[in-house]
Amino acid sequence: MFTVLHLFRTERLPYLRFVALTITCCCCILLWGKIALSQQPIHLSMLTSALDAAQGQSLVAAFEAQNPDIKIDVVEGPNASNLIEDLYTSSFLLGDSPYDLVMMDVVWLPKFAAAGWLLDLTDRIPANDLADFMTADLEGGRYDGRLYRLPVRSDAQLLYYRKDWLQQAGIQPPDTFDQLMAASKLLQSAGISKWGYVWQGRQFEGLAAVFVDILAGFGGFWVNPTDREVGLDHPEAIAALQFLRDTVTSGISPPGVTNYQHEDARRLFQGGEVAFMHNWPYAYPLSNAEDSPIKGKFDIKLMVHQPGLTSAACLGGWGIGITKTTAHPDAALRVAQFYASPDAQRLSILENGYLPTRRSLYADPAILTKYPYFSGMMSVIDNAVLRPPIAQYAQASDILQRYLSAAITDRMSPEAALQAAARETRALLAQE
Amino acid sequence: MTNSSSQASTHALSTRRIGLAIVILLILIFSLAPILWQLLTSFKTTADIAAIPNVYFPKQLTIEHYTEIFRRQPFLRYMFNSGFVAITSTLLCLLIGTPAAYALARLKLPGEQIVLAATLIVTLFPYILLFLGLLELVRTFGLANHYLALIVPYTAMNVPLTILVMRSFFQQLPRDLEDSAKVDGYSTVQMLLQILMPLTLPALVTTGILTFIAAWNEFLFALTFITRESMKTIPVAVAQLSGTAVFEIPYGALAAATVIGTLPLVLLLLIFQQRIVQGLTAGAVKG
Amino acid sequence: MSKTLRDQERQTGWWLLAPAVILLLLVYAYPIGRSFWLSLFTQNLGTELQPVFTGLNNYGRMAIDGRFWQSIGNTTLFTAISVLLELLLGLGTALVLNQSFRGRGAVRTIALLPWALPTALIATTWTWIFNDQFGVWNDLLMRAGLIKTGINWLGDPHWALWTVIAADVWKTTPFIAILLLAGLQAIPNDLYEAHTLDGASPWQNFYRITLPLLMPQILIATLFRFAQAFGIFDLIQVMTGGGPGGATETVSIYIYATIMRYLDFGYGAALVVVTFLILSLAVAIAAFWLSKLRPAGDWR
């Protein structure tokens, strides 16, 4: 580089300058011609877990077949969803985001929206287009009353139970916490089931989600999103944690449950060792597969509750949003609308078995033929509760997880643990 | 009498030698076993990798994991990024650190003790203490996903080492050389470039290798300041490698990626081990 | 005449020094100073990422933050155990490498290998070795009959920190070994000979000659390693990410999460400041010891 400049400056070789100029001009003309003549498709980039990338290949193909002017570049990330969240977070925080589209879990939305990283979709999508979506799923895409995400996949936690064993023991599926405890003890003492009830006790987001279900069944709350009141040290919350603790101490749950994630619980249930399981719907098709020992022997229902109260399932699910800084907001919107469309959802559901976010699909013949249990799932989603839609959710959840874990592993009493959790959460939320 | 005592001493000597051999063997196993296991894993078939109990002597070797990582990910690009950033920052570091080292070794400057002490102390602080401030700088100057976002901190983090190693080198050089150059009318800068430079080359190589290793291996800044796939360096790219099945991590591909990413360093070490040892001891012990 | 020459030399000196000093100020001094300033503000998602002056509020929050104290505890434990083990193993390796035997150069090269490799890649290697199902470590232990079922080394809160420490010891023992080896080689042989003639045993030799003369190197190596271990990030981030359940969360991991995951910049800055102060205190103490061991002013 330096020598080239040097040659230019000293007029020792004047013809070289001419040659260089000619070459540069030719290159420019060629490049300009190439750009002008070929219509390059717009490339839109999106980060998903490697699993989602593999499962979403047919969706990308279908979209690109219909829209030859747009190419979707799916970047494969790690499979753990909190790592995907961190990758999105650092790329937005840094600026110069490589991603135009954001495939996001329901709990990331408040953070991404509050940080101002997402394009406001409220005025870009006519209200009519939203009518078919399940209310809870749509609500999960809103922050401060503005819409930032179109839901493409729904999810809500359920109680799985062995209907054959309950029949054998002559009891009804439980509706309350006491009934769940009693049924578990009965099945265990009768030697029908090794364990009563299995859930996710590892210190991770899954534990917070389990607790949200239990908390709702006891009539408590975590953080009130409107006045930001923290309810973790209220009697209902302490009773809810006491229930989880009791399942371990009374031997209803296996001692290892305090280290379980979703797959540990599913393996135990599918292996026929436990009567009740708290889990997401993904376990249904797996447990009901041809090679599953419990095929046709189990059913699902909403999580139990205290007498006189109702239960509510913790809402999960994924949706698609648009990066605020994208150079192609209109193209990105077309992709987002495609992913949320009935056709795309049907295609993905038939391949992968996730729950739809549209009412119409819960009555879709093709889907119901393949997954008959979906018919009952619509009411579950309708009654689902969001985890606190606050911007600092990740931080609040990590605080809660730490103290829940401390209590269920008997390092702290439920009361002391939740008091500490409430104190830290209040300090966190009082930051304004 | 004499005979038996000498016998006893040869006996003691031989047990001593056997003991030494065993300890040396342990050191070799300790240092090599994990690397060799990873190397073996990278050539095993996926079935052998997931076999229980483990397969120590696979009947079949494969290079599919190597072809897979190059096919699925821009691995050459990661290698280039790492190499480019490491080499550039190494050169910059020598360019900036060597004159400073000379000034601290030879020219009597007021407050040079303070500069030297500060340089020493600075090497002790972990990068995590710097990254919040640097993150702000990167955002302010729009350096996100730019090589400069890595080159500047990598240069800076190696300047202290360069100063320490080069300073101790300059102090070992005979002064007469410079004095006579000055008598001959060279200015300080001329003298540095034309007389000292050729002599310093070995020391520069030593420092450069240490700098290169540190820059190639850096993780925190590369993780934070680069989010675009095409700009990632090897350590970050490998750490983020993941599988396509629900709970499967691609151990074979991961092993292959590790082998590829460490290979340049293994070669460097084999070629320059003498210099690396010199540099390490000069930088740390004499500092 | 000589005065101007001296002035000129001095001026050149400052020019030679200036780029390095500016760079170090920019990359080291500015970020730390900036953290001190920022720690007085609340700047997080609650304030829509705008800084709001809140005085010492962040430090007050830290006092009741159980997770912060846990991470300090983890960091201290990690640092203390790993540096101690590395010193012992490093000293042993150095003593062996100081013996004369055939192929010493090759052994030294191999012993240095772990130090030269990228920590992030080594972390994936160890993650694989300590895998609960397919890991070779479990396999070896089971074959030796020491355990019956595989241990989830990185997934079990009781084991995870020790597993990470093992990987760190492997990675950094060579560094200490090489530093100590240089120190050993500087000890003149006559000292040992004279002592041995006086009837001293090898152990007495080690205790009376080697150890005292090696003390400066040991202290410097400890100081270096202490500072590095206290800020350990890449190894843990890749192996466990601080999990399970915070069992391996060190201060750096917590700082990183606070800033990059929670976007809690003010609080993150306060964490940086406290960590900086703790480290500075430790370094000051160590430097004081060091200066007592060495004649003052002899920086070489």
Question: What is the fold, at CATH topology level, of the domain defined by A156-314+388-429?
Answer: D-Maltodextrin-Binding Protein; domain 2 (3.40.190)
pLDDT of residue C300: 36
More confident residue, A35 or C77: C77
What is the β-pairing status of strands A298-301 and A158-162? Answer: antiparallel
pLDDT category, B107, cuts 50, 70, 90?
A: confident
Name the closest residue on chain C to residue B105, using Cα atoms.
Answer: C13
- Mutation target to probe the C interface, by most C beta carbons within 10 A, among B17, B18, B94, B132 is B132
Region C230-240: mean pLDDT is 92
Q: Do B38 and C125 touch (CB under 8 A)?
A: yes
Verify whether the Cβ–Cβ distance B124 to C217 is below 8 Å. no
- The ipTM of this complex is 0.90
**Cβ neighbours of residue C109 under 8 Å, at least 6 residues apart?**
B269, B270, B273
pLDDT(A359) > 50: yes
Paired with A385 in beta bridges are A314
C-chain residue closest to B111, CA distance: C14
Residues of chain A found within 8 Å of residue B145, distances taken between Cβ atoms = 94, 96, 98
**Angle of the A205-217 helix axis to the A393-408 helix axis, nearest 10:** 80
Residue A204, helix vs strand vs coil: coil
- Concatenating the DSSP letter of every residue in C39-98 gives TTEE-SGGGTT--EE-TTHHHHHHHT-HHHHHHHHHHHHHHHHHHHHHHHHHHHHHHHHT
Q: For residues A388 and A395, what is the distance between their CA atoms, to the nearest angstrom?
A: 11
Residue of A nearest to B222 (CA): A90
A9 by Cβ neighbours in 10 Å (0-12 / 13-18 / 19+) ranks as exposed
Break chain B into its structural domains and give their ranges: 2-49, 73-284
Interface test with B, best of A46, A57, A96 (most B CBs within 10 A): A96
Q: How many residues does chain B have?
A: 287
Alpha helices (runs of H) in chain C, residue ranges in sequence order:
2-24, 30-38, 57-63, 66-97, 104-116, 119-129, 136-143, 160-185, 189-197, 202-205, 211-230, 234-239, 251-256, 265-293
Range with lowest mean pLDDT among A360-369, C177-186, C286-295: C286-295
For chains A and C, count residue pairs whose Cβ atoms are closer than 8 Å: 75
Q: Answer yes or no: do B125 and C237 touch at CB < 8 A.
A: no
Distance of CA A165 to the CA centre of its chain: 32
Work out the mean pLDDT of chain B and round it to a whole number.
Answer: 86
Q: Which residues of A touch C64 (CB under 8 A)?
A: 423-424, 427
Q: Give the residue from A85, A261, A267, A395 with the most C CB atoms within 10 Å of its CB, the best one to mutate.
A: A395
Measure CB to CB from residue C263 to each of A93, A202, A259 and give the nearest one.
A93
Contact B240 A54 (CB under 8 A): no
CB contacts < 8 A (B, C): 278
Question: Per-residue pLDDT tens for B171-186?
Answer: 888 888 778 887 888 8
B29-67 core/surface letters (b: 16 or more CB in 10 A; e: else): ebbeebbebbbbbbbbbbebbeeeebbeebeeeeebbbe
Integer Cα distance of A9 and A3 in angstroms: 10
Check residue A250 and give its pLDDT. Answer: 94
User: CA–CA separation, B286 vs A326, rounded Å?
Assistant: 53
A-contacting chains (≥3 CB pairs under 8 Å): B, C
Contacts of A78 in chain B (CB under 8 A): 240, 242
Using one digit for the tens of pLDDT, what is the confidence trace for B22-74?
Answer: 999 999 999 999 999 999 999 998 888 877 788 888 888 999 999 988 888 88
Are the CB atoms for B286 and B164 separated by under 8 Å? yes
Contact between residue A245 and residue A219 where contact means Cβ atoms under 8 Å apart:
no
CB distance A83 to A77 below 8 Å = yes
Half-sphere exposure of A370 (CA within 13 A, CB side): 16
Nearest to B107 among C10, C19, C251 (CB): C10
Does A341 score more than 60 pLDDT?
yes
Chain A residues touching C262 at Cβ < 8 A: 392, 394-395
Q: Do domains A42-148+315-382 and A156-314+388-429 have the same CATH topology?
A: yes
Spatial separation of the C-alpha atoms in residues A233 and A254, rounded to whole Å: 27
The whole-angstrom distance between C15's CA and the closest CA on chain B is: 9
**A95:B243 CB<8 A:** no
Q: Which residues of C touch A420 (CB under 8 A)?
A: 66
Q: What's the CATH class of domain C39-293? A: mainly alpha
Pick the closest to residue A169 from A76, A54, A319, A275 (CA basis): A275
CB contact under 8 A, C46 and A202: no
Q: What is the pLDDT of residue C1?
A: 46
DSSP letter at A258 equals G
CA distance B117 to chain A (A): 34
Q: Which residues of A touch C (CB under 8 A)?
A: 83, 85-86, 89-90, 93, 111, 114-116, 202-204, 259, 391-392, 394-395, 398-399, 401-403, 405, 420, 423-424, 427-429, 431-432
Task: Quote the percentage of chain C above a pLDDT of 70.
Answer: 96
The pLDDT value recorded for residue A352 is: 86
What CATH number should be reported for the domain whose range is B73-284? Answer: 1.10.3720.10
Q: Between A235-249 and A177-189, two packed helices, what is the crossing angle to 10 degrees?
A: 0
Contacts of C245 in chain A (CB under 8 A): 202-204, 401-402, 405
Could you tell me what percent of chain A has a pLDDT over 70? 91
Provide the CATH topology of domain A42-148+315-382: D-Maltodextrin-Binding Protein; domain 2 (3.40.190)
User: Average pLDDT of C31-44?
Assistant: 94
Structure token digits, residue A177: 């916490």
Chain A residue numbers touching B224 (CB-CB < 8 A)? 90, 94
- Give the residue extent of every domain in chain A: 2-37, 42-148+315-382, 156-314+388-429
Q: Do B129 and C276 touch (CB under 8 A)?
A: yes
> pLDDT digits over B176-227, tens only?
877 888 788 887 778 777 887 788 888 899 899 999 999 999 999 999 999 9
Pick the residue from chain A with its C-alpha nearest to C53: A432
pLDDT in tens, B230-255: 999 999 998 887 655 444 567 888 89
Cα separation, A35 vs C187, in Å, equals 71
